[in-house]
Every structure is written in structure tokens, then in C-alpha cells.
Amino acid sequence: MWGENMRDKLIQVLEVISGLQELKVKDLAIQLGVTTKTVRNDIRQLNELLASKGLDQIVISKGTIYNPFSSTIMKKFIQMANDNVQDDSYLNPQQRIIFLLMEFLFAKDPLFLVELQEDMQISKSTMDNDMRDLRKLVQPYGLRIVTNHTSGVSVQGNERAIRMMFTDMFSHQPNILDIVRDRFKWSTILVNEARKVFNNTDVIYLKKILRDIFSDSHLGVNDNYQQQAIVLTMVWLLRVQNGHNVDTDADTDVATLNDHQSEFVNAIIGHFGLKIIGKSEASYLAFTISSFDSDEPAELENWAKSQIICLALIEWMEETLEFPFSKSESLFERVYKHISALIKRQSRSVNAYNPLKRTIMQSYPEIFNSVKAFFLKRGQEYQMNLSDDEIGYLAVYFSTTQVEICQEQVRKYRIAIICNYGLATGRLLAAKLEEHFNVDVLAILSVSELDILNKIPVGLVFKTVDVEIAGFPSLKVNPIPSVKDVQAVANFLKEHSKLSKYEENQLEPARLFNNILIVLKKNSIDISNSLVFELRRVFEKNRLKINEREVQPMLRDLINNSQIQLQVPVSGWKDAIMRSAKPLLDENYIESRYVKAMIESVEDYGPYIVIGPSIALAHARPEDGAKKLGVSIMTLAHPINFGNPENDPVKIIFCLAAVDNYSHLNVMKSVVRLINDQDKVERLADISDINEFCKVLFGPNETKEMI
């Protein structure tokens, strides 16, 4: 069955070649305004229709199309192509691939091509072409389509890769669940096949339990994620029912399930009457499904990685697009949760399909390309290879934040005015420009003062006299602007929109709060918790709301000299963790069980705490014994290996006591910046004097005594 667009294309091809015995492929491509490849594909589609009717085919040889039919017969073909829109017995190449994939998924034993050929009502040559296309599709997953004339055809390869391939193919447009529900005009053959493999009753059941069990999370309300989770579960169900299991020895997902995961897996096993031996399959399903749930807490081994990537991405976006994304209270939380789920998906070979990908790419190209550029540059460092689908999801968070912040800010142009009619006239022009446009007039100058332009932060210049302004876009206007001048200024500003700067419409309480603390600190006033509390009360009484995450302590605020240990000899990585934690333990920031939890987590999950070249960040969960926010730093007399080949040996260890996901973010920012400055890491690792260490760590003008 063809859609109307396909029908119209093929009818157009038939109409052009009707009455012609020969025609060059390139000439037909020019007439139709398409590529020669498209022409060849269209002729192939026509030949499939002709073959299904037992008729001769149109031949392409050495770049020439040979038409064996008369113009009268060609008219009949045009009518046949037109009628084919309603032909329920015909599958186009894309639909045949979907059909074949469903057969491979549903079958317990290898298939026979002759039977598939009869089911789809196609010729042997068409079947051979389809199998070539299918082999190309599965090849990127490391899979093979193996054919044996006696035992049949099957998909072979790693079981996880096979499931990933099926899930990807059935999640993309057209989504298999749309075919099951017959939302569009699909061929009856295809719809029946889809309903055989993806039973509609099962689909409805899965949607219900996803909504019920994950009702308080992202997975419970996001239709797109639900559809992908349903497809993934159905693929898992059919593979398990047909005796295809993941390799238990290679499975790293055997772990304790949380309440949601246990409830979901038990519901599936009970409803479908499955007999699951061992934990690997239950773990596979539970953790794969949870990778679509961005509200699921980050796993400990990925907690720091998720936060580091999130902070680095936000900082990158700010610098690249020159937009204050970090002012958003919610952006970090949104991106952090998505990246945590993304890391889970990548570790379990699950791809998230984004149906709005192309719309996002077209609507927000700068944001999309900036996110993509970040992962192209840093992806290898973070061991992440993102698809455009995943980049599209992240781009949405930034575009949403941009809109939200823009509602509280305006873009302004910083301008200078060159006027030779006197200061009063220049001020009048300035007033008129400020009345009509979002501009800040930074200077009103005469022609003799042009050199001042290079000393002030202006982007554009307006002038009342013909004079060349080197290095700045400029526009001549009348001293008293006319309607025509106003329109010219509007066009000029639009042309140079990238030179506008964001300026806040209102007072920023968090910045004011921080500035007050800095002034107090410079005047040797002790910043106690009670003083901070009283200041916040004053702000609240004056209706100045403080974003708590913007007044988080900096690394320099948390560290005292007793928490810095330099050139410490250690016997191994366990000893390194224990020694780095000692200052926090001695000063009652953590309990002894927190130290034990840090060591056990490395034993359980590997050297995940080695977060960058030469740097480790020892940490555990807040509930493992963190009493208050704190951090210590230790350099090693001799670097040691934790078992991380990319980042070993470790020279500097941070020990972090975090009480939540957010209060330590400024500390994490400092760590991220240090990771990206390996020269600084090397200098710090060699220092043995604490004051010198602080000068290098915090800047040349600040020691710990000053901060």
C-alpha cells in the first residue's frame, strides 16, 4: 500500500516516461527536480508493483531507462498506481522490513524465506533485495542475518544487542504501537502481523501498570517514554518466552531492586505466567525500564559523574551562547535528572527515541548545535556517545530555560552617539532612542572624541554626521529622528541583534546577599550560621526571595587549613580514602560508617570516584553518615592507582560529605574547573606548603587566612 505522496511521485514518473522508449536517468532527475538515486528508487517501486501483477519490468542499464510499454498501456499503469493506494495486499519496502523484523522477533525457531515471500506476496528477487537491506540495518549493532537452506534464517549476535536493535526499530516512526492501534492507513497484512506480535490487550495492560506504578514519576506521565517502555518490555517478553536470555556471567545488573522496580517486574512475571530462573533477566528489565525514569535517584557510582557533566554542560552553554542559564533554579535539576537517566540507558544499551527531534533541530538550531558540540568535544572524556535524539531532549531543557529567563530580562544594546550639534542635541537623540528601543546610551561624543569608543563597552554607534567609525557598526540618523529614521534604526538593531546584551529587569536578591557576605568577610566579621540566618530573615521581611542554590558555599568557604593535607604517604587506595576522610571525621562532619561506605562502594562499583586525570572524589550517600556539608583535600606523596586506566594515577583526593543533591554544587564547579586545568593539578600535586597551596588553588591574591 502506498501513501498519497508515494502515489503522486510514481504517477509523475510514469507520466514523464509515457510514450518514450528510452530516457537518461539524469534527464528524468532534472525534469522531476530530484537526484538520480531517487529516480532509481522510484523505478524500483514501480517494478515491484509490475512484478506483483506478473508484468514485465522497466529496465535501467548504464544510466538509461528502457520502457517496453506503449503509451496506452502506460495510461493503464498510471490508473493502477492510482488505485494501489487502496490495495491492502501490497507492502512497500519499509513496511516489508517491519514485517520481517516482527516475524524474527515472534518466531521461536529460524524462519524460511519461501514462506515469508508467500506471506508478503512478493517475488524472489524482491525478497533478496529486502534481505540485503535488512542485513545492512542490523550490521551497526554487531548482528548478522544467518541463512541456512536446511535450518532456515535467524538473527544472531549478542542478546543485549539483539534486544536493542528490535527496540530501536519498533520505536522509530512509524512506531509499532501506532500500527497495532491502526491509527493510520496501514496495510491489513501489516496491521494483522503487528497485532499478532504486539497483542493490543497486552499493550493496554502495560500502559496501565506503567501509569499506576510510576504515577509519581516522569515515566508515569510522559507518553513518549511510556511507548518506548512498552515496546522494550514486549521485546523482552517475547525474547524470554522464546528462550533467548541475557548472559548471566556477563550481566552486571544483578542488584537489589527498589520498590517501583520490584512491583513492575513482579506484575509482569505474574500476569504473563513467566518462570524466570536467576536474577539477571528481572534485573535487566527493571533497570532498563527505570532508565526512562528521570525521577529515579542517581546510582551512587554515577552520582558525581552526572553532576559534573551537568555543571560542565551548563557552563559550556553559557559561554557558547552568552546567555545566563545558571540563573535558573530548575535547569540544573532538570538536566541532572535527565543525564542520570541517560547514563543508565547508555550502560544498558538502550536508546531513547525523540519524535520531535527534527522540529527541535529546526526551531532551536543554536541550542541544539551547542549541546551537540559539547558532547563531540567532551563525550570521549565522559565515555558518552549521544544520538541526536538524546541531544534533542537536552536542547529542550535549555530552550525552555531561555524562554523563562527572557520573561524576566530584556536584551539591551549598549550604544554611543556621535553628535556635532552640541551636547543638548545629543541628549535629545539619546532620549528618543531610549524611548523607542531597548538601548543604553553609554556616551555622547563629538567627532574629536572618537578614540574614547575603544575605552567603553559599546557595541553600536549612532551618528548625526558622515564620519567613518572604525571597528564599530554605525548608522547615520537625523538629530531629531523622523519616522523613517525610527524604522531604519529598528532594521539596524535587528541586523546586529547578536550585539545586544541581557540585562535584568529587577534586583537579584541572591547576588545582593552574597555581596553583603563578601563585604562582611573583608572587614574581618565572622560569618556564622546564626548571622546568615538573621540576614535571610531580614531579606524575607523585605520580600526579597533568595534562591538557596545561588547562595551555596564556595570551596574556599568550606575548607580550613586543618582540612588540607599535603604530600601524604599512603599504602593503597583504601588507605588513601581513610586518610583523606580523617579531617572530616575528626571535626564531626561524618560518622565512621561514612568512611566504610566510601570504601565498600569502590569495591562494589569499581573506581568510579576517579572523576578526572589525577583526581579522585571520595564520597558516599548522605544517609551513610554525612552529618553536615564539608570537604577535605589531600595530595599524595606518591601517586597511586585506583584501577581507572583513563585517569590513573591519582595525585589529589577530595573527600566530600554531601547532605543533599544541591548544597555542594559550587564545590563541584571548583572540581570541574580543576579537572580542566591539568597544569594547575600538576602544580598543586608538588606543593608542600599550605599557604602556597591555597594561593594556587584559589588564586594568587587569596590565602585561606583572607577567605
pLDDT at 634: 95
Give the count of beta carbons closer than 10 Å to the beta carbon of residue 273.
Answer: 7
Q: What is the pLDDT of residue 69?
A: 79
23 Cβ contact partners less than 8 Å away, ≥ 6 residues apart: 16, 17, 64, 65, 67
Parallel/antiparallel/unpaired status of strands 22-24 and 64-66? antiparallel
Q: Which CATH architecture has domain 4-86?
A: Orthogonal Bundle (1.10)
pLDDT interval class at 337 (50, 70, 90) = confident
Tell me which residue of 667, 683, 636 sits closest to 695, measured CA to CA. 683
Which phi and psi (to 5°) does residue 327 adopt?
Answer: -70, -15
Look at the block and give the residue holding cell 488505485. 83
The neighbour count for residue 688, using CB atoms within 10 Å, is 10
pLDDT at 125 over 60: yes
Q: What are phi and psi of 568, to 5 degrees?
A: -90, 125
**Predicted confidence band at 252 (pLDDT cuts at 50, 70, 90)?**
very low
pLDDT at 579 over 70: yes
3 pLDDT above the threshold of 50: no
Q: What is the mean pLDDT of residues 407-435?
A: 82
Higher-pLDDT residue of 86 and 112 is: 112
pLDDT of 5 over the 70 cut: no
**Given this model, what pLDDT does residue 458 score?**
92
Q: Which CATH class is domain 300-406?
A: mainly alpha
pLDDT at 701: 43
Q: Is a pLDDT exceeding 90 seen at residue 105? A: yes
Helix axes 483-495, 423-436, angle to 10 degrees: 70
Domain 409-504 has CATH 1.10.1740.10: no
pLDDT of residue 489: 95
Please report, rounded to a whole number, the percentage of residues in the chain having pLDDT higher than 90: 28
201 pLDDT exceeds 80? yes
Phi, then psi, of 157 in degrees rounded to 5: 150, -170
Say what the pLDDT of residue 639 is: 94
In sequence order, which residues have a C-beta less than 8 Å from that of residue 200 and are 6 or more positions away? Answer: 180, 181
Q: CA distances (Å), 589 to each of 533, 560, 593, 657, in order?
A: 20, 13, 12, 7
C-beta separation of 669 from 311 below 8 A: yes
Packed helices 159-171 and 124-138: angle between N→C axes, nearest 10 degrees: 110
- Measure CA of the first residue to CA of the last residue in the chain; give whole Å: 74
Element (H, E) at 20: none
Selected residue with higher pLDDT from 353 and 394: 394
Query: What are the pLDDT digits (tens) for 631-654?
Result: 899 999 999 999 988 889 999 999
User: How far is the C-alpha of 655 from the C-alpha of 635, rounded, in Å?
Assistant: 11
C-alpha gyration radius of the chain: 33
Q: Where do the domains of the chain lie? A: 4-86, 93-290, 300-406, 409-504, 509-543, 555-698
Which pairs from 496-501 meet CB under 8 Å and 24+ separation?
496/413, 496/459, 496/460, 497/411, 499/413, 499/459, 499/460, 499/473, 500/411, 500/412, 500/413, 500/438, 500/459, 501/411, 501/412, 501/413, 501/414, 501/459
**264-318: pLDDT as tens digits:** 999 999 999 998 877 788 888 888 887 777 666 656 677 888 888 888 899 899 9
What torsion, rounded to 10 degrees, do the Cα atoms 144, 147, 148, 152 define?
A: 100
Backbone angles phi, psi at 637, to 5 degrees: -65, -35
CA–CA dist 566, 690 (Å, integer)? 7
pLDDT > 70? residue 409: no
State yes or no: is 436 an active-site residue. Answer: no
- Cβ atoms of 260 and 240 closer than 8 Å: no
- Calculate the alpha carbon distances from 50 to 38, 81, 132, 230, 455 in Å: 19, 10, 21, 39, 76
Rounded average pLDDT over 483-507: 82
Assess contact for 544 and 524: CB atoms under 8 A: no
Task: Give 236-249 pLDDT, tens digit per residue.
Answer: 999 999 999 887 64
> What residue has cell string 543638548?
424
Q: Can you state the angle between helices 93-106 and 188-197, rounded to 10 degrees? A: 30
Cell 534527464 belongs to 27
pLDDT digits (tens, 9 = 90+) for 45-87: 778 777 766 677 888 888 898 888 777 777 766 666 555 544 5
pLDDT of residue 102: 93
* Interval 87-100 mean pLDDT: 80
Q: Which of helix, strand or coil describes residue 187?
A: coil
Among 260, 338, 496, 619, the one annotated catalytic:
619
Q: Which three cell numbers stand for residue 468?
A: 567613518
pLDDT of residue 253: 45
Q: What is the pLDDT of residues 517-532, one digit of tens each?
A: 767 766 767 655 567 6
Residue 681's nearest CA partner among 697, 660, 665 is: 697
Question: CB under 8 Å to 649, separation ≥6 — which residues?
Answer: 614, 639, 640, 641
Q: Per-residue confidence at 374, pLDDT binned at 50, 70, 90?
A: very high
| Class of CATH domain 555-698 | alpha beta
154: confidence class by pLDDT, cuts 50, 70, 90: very high
User: DSSP for 514-544?
Assistant: HHHHHHHHHTT----HHHHHHHHHHHHHTT-
Residue 173 has a pLDDT of 59
Q: How far apart are CA 356 and CA 395, in angstroms?
A: 11
Q: What percent of the chain has pLDDT over 70?
A: 85
pTM over 0.75: no
- Count of positions (residues) in the chain: 707
Highest mean pLDDT range out of 112-126, 156-170, 567-581? 567-581
